[in-house]
Amino acid sequence: MSNCSSLYRKSFLKLLDLTADEIVGLLDLASELKTRKKAGIPHKLCDGMNIALIFEKTSTRTRCAFEVAASDLGMHATYLDPSGSQIGKKESIADTARVLGRMYDGIEYRGYGQDIVESLAKYAGVPVWNGLTNEFHPTQVLADFLTILEHFGSLHDKKLVFMGDARYNMANSLMVGCAKMGLHFVACAPEIYFPNPDLVRTCQSLAQETGATLTFETDPVKAVKDADVIYTDVWVSMGEPQEVWAERIKDLRPYQVNASLMSLAGSKAVFMHCLPAFHDLGTSIGREIHDTFGLDAMEVTDDVFESSQSIVFNEAENRMHTIKAVMAATLCEV
Site residues (vs ligand CP, CB under 6 A): 59-62, 132, 140, 274-276
| Listed ranges 205-213, 229-237, 264-272, 316-324: which one lies at the site for ligand NVA (CB under 6 A) | 229-237
Least CB distance to ligand NVA at residue 133 (A): 9
Alpha carbons 227 and 72: distance in angstroms, whole number: 36
* Total residues belonging to the chain: 334
Specify the residue, 104 or 278, whose C-beta has the smaller distance to ligand NVA: 278
Give whichever of 275 and 295 is closer to ligand CP, judged by the CB atom: 275
> With CB under 6 A as the contact rule, which of the stretches 146-154, 166-174, 199-207, 286-294 interacts with ligand NVA?
166-174
Q: Catalytic residue numbers? A: 110, 137, 140, 233, 274, 319
Q: Compute how many other C-beta atoms are within 10 angstroms of the C-beta atom of residue 216.
A: 17
Residue closer to ligand CP by CB (options 45, 316) is: 316
Which residue intervals of the chain are DSSP H helices?
A: 20-38, 61-72, 93-103, 114-124, 138-152, 169-181, 197-210, 220-223, 245-252, 259-265, 284-293, 302-305, 312-331
60 binds, options ligand NVA, ligand CP, none, Cβ within 5 to 8 A by partner type: ligand CP
Task: Give least dist CB 134 to ligand NVA, A.
Answer: 7
**How many residues line the site for ligand NVA (CB under 6 A)?**
10
How is residue 250 annotated by DSSP?
Answer: H
Q: Is 209 helix (H, G, I), strand (E, B) or coil?
A: helix
Q: Would you count residue 245 as binding ligand NVA (CB under 6 A)?
A: no
- Shortest Cβ 140–ligand NVA spacing (Å): 6
Find, among 211, 220, 213, the residue nearest to 193 by Cα: 220
232 binds ligand NVA (CB under 6 A): no
Q: Provide the minimum distance between the beta carbon of 233 and ligand NVA in the complex, in angstroms, as a whole number.
A: 5
In eight-state DSSP terms, residue 273 is: E
Label each residue of 101-170 as H, E or C.
HHHCCEEEEECCCHHHHHHHHHHHCCCEEECCCCCCCHHHHHHHHHHHHHHHCCCCCCEEEEECCCCCHH
Give whichever of 217 and 280 is closer to ligand CP, judged by the CB atom: 280
Q: Is the Cβ–Cβ distance between 327 and 73 less than 8 Å?
A: yes
Quick check: helix, strand or coil at residue 54?
strand
Q: How far is the CB of 94 from ligand CP (least distance, A)?
A: 26
Rule CB under 6 A: say whether 168 interacts with ligand NVA: yes
Q: Name the site residues for ligand NVA (rule: CB under 6 A).
A: 132, 137, 168-170, 233-234, 237-238, 274
